[in-house]
Structure 1
Amino acid sequence: MNLTSRKIGKYIAGITLSLTVAFSGSTLIAPKQVEAATASASSTASKVISVGKRYLGTPYVFGASAGQTRSFDCSSFTQYVYKQVGISLPRSSKSQSKSGRFVSKSQLQPGDLIFSDTNRDGSINHVSIYMGNNKILHTYRKGIGVTISTFKGSTWDKTYVTARRVM
């Protein structure tokens, strides 16, 4: 499969996932105030994911400069994407892991940040965006860049430390 075919495949997968997230929702009837808050968070999560997917394939560079889009590391990516929807995050994954509020792994919702200790040295060193449906949007390793990965059973799941809701 050539590079162009892979990009087209990723683009189609991205559109499909965006539509799935955009049209998924609760079938329960909730009070209007709760319903409005849920719709707002869901809308923000959809925007975060949509913005992030624009950068699929963007190169990974450890220590990439904040605020630019030529390359990202995991935390410059999340910082940039959330800033585009009006949410400020600190620069490092470790600092980002203290933002927002704790959410348990079993309660993950699209737009939540997932933090991992991939070096297994007791320190958070990776952040990704939960997309829903067991998928994460993130960037890692030179040659891979911004990508969508499966969460359950992955390195990021096996080295999971915490998750935060920043919306």
Structure 2
Amino acid sequence: MKKQFVAVVLAATFTVGSLAAYADQAHAAATGTITSSVNFRKQPDTSSAAYGYLKAGEKVTILSKVNAWWYQVQDDQGRTGYISTSSKYVRVSDSSPISSETPSGGSTTASSTGDTTAAIDKIIAAGKKYLGTPYEYGSDRSNTRTFDCSDFVRQAFKEGAGVTLPSDSRAQGSYVKSLGNTTTNWKSLKPGDLMFFMEYRGSSKSSYPSNKANQRITHVGIYLGEGKVLHTYSKESGGVRIDSIENKHWEYRFMFGGSALK
């Protein structure tokens, strides 16, 4: 009888403990509804491989908020992956709080929007550390001996905020546009925003179209504020450097800009 009583008590304790653990897990999860087609990636990284796209109307279970930009989710097939936190792509319909944690193997980034200012400062500091680093078109993304424009921007964001941007300027432009907050007026930009430019056609304003919407991105840089851009664009210019924008070809070539941290 005594052994049976102990067994019952142990079983009850195990059951209560299991239920508590389950309750904690359930409390951490939330339901999301996909509002616009979004990449379902295998890691919280824009360069990561993807399972494919989750389509509008699909439901996902949000397991955790990795950082300000990524949710870890599970789809109806039981696959675990990562999607953007942007309300453009997902609507969270559960009022339960979502736990914030970085899964093993994931990219480490700023943990909340409150960290954005600190992240921007770190990105700019990381970029300035490479002032004078030689320019090389198609530079090797695995080292920092040389940079082309997009490689430099990518490295600054990776070091400063743990954010791995796409490898080329056009893909970076598409990524920033996908976040839904861009401007064609460089004076409306904030420090840390990315700037995208069309090809060089000369130093005169009249050499460039007033509407650049259909132009091809050929260059990217990091806006520093006060009309200055941190970037790299040629061997002759001395590599990574800071240039003024206003009344120069940079202003005339500017297409759009915006934050890559949303």
- For normalisation by structure 1, the TM-score amounts to 0.73
Corresponding position: 1:148 with 2:229: no
Equivalent residues in 2 for 1:66-105, closer than 5 Å: 66-84=141-159, 85-100=161-176, 101=179, 102-104=181-183, 105=185
Structure 1 SS opposite 2:174:
coil
Equivalent residues in 2 for 1:118-137, closer than 5 Å: 118-119=199-200, 122-137=215-230
* Contact preservation (8 Å) 1:67, 1:80: no
Report the Cα offset of residue 153 of structure 1: 1.9
Structure 1 SS opposite 2:127:
helix
Report the Cα offset of residue 80 of structure 1: 1.0
Structure 2 SS opposite 1:109:
coil
In the comparison of the two structures, how many residue pairs are matched? 131
- Say which structure, 1 or 2, has more relative contact order (CA 8 Å, 6+ apart): 1
Report the Cα offset of residue 40 of structure 1: 2.1
Question: Identity, % of aligned pairs?
Answer: 36
1:35-83 alpha-carbon deviations (Å, 9 max, x no partner): x84x522211110100000000000011111131100000000011111
* Contact preservation (8 Å) 1:67, 1:76: no
Q: 1-side partners of 2:229 and 2:222: how far apart?
A: 5
Q: 2-side partners of 1:68 and 1:155: how far apart?
A: 30
* Unaligned stretches of 5+ residues in structure 2: 1-111, 202-213
| Structure having the larger proportion of residues in helix | 1
The residue aligned with 2:196 is 115
The residue aligned with 2:45 is none
1:106-157 alpha-carbon deviations (Å, 9 max, x no partner): 4200110000002459210000000111111000111320001112222221
Structure 1 SS opposite 2:136:
coil
* Contact preservation (8 Å) 2:192, 2:223: yes
Larger Rg: 2
The residue aligned with 2:5 is none
**Runs of 4+ with >2 A deviation:** 100-103, 118-122
Report the RMSD for the aligned CA atoms in angstroms. Answer: 1.8
- For normalisation by structure 2, the TM-score amounts to 0.47
| Structure having the larger proportion of residues in strand | 2
Structure 2 SS opposite 1:140:
coil
1:71-101 alpha-carbon deviations (Å, 9 max, x no partner): 0000000011111121111111011001133
The residue aligned with 2:16 is none
Corresponding position: 1:62 with 2:143: no
Counterpart code for 1:166: A
* Unaligned stretches of 5+ residues in structure 1: 1-35
- Work out which of the residue numbers 256, 259, 262 in structure 2 matches 1:162: 256
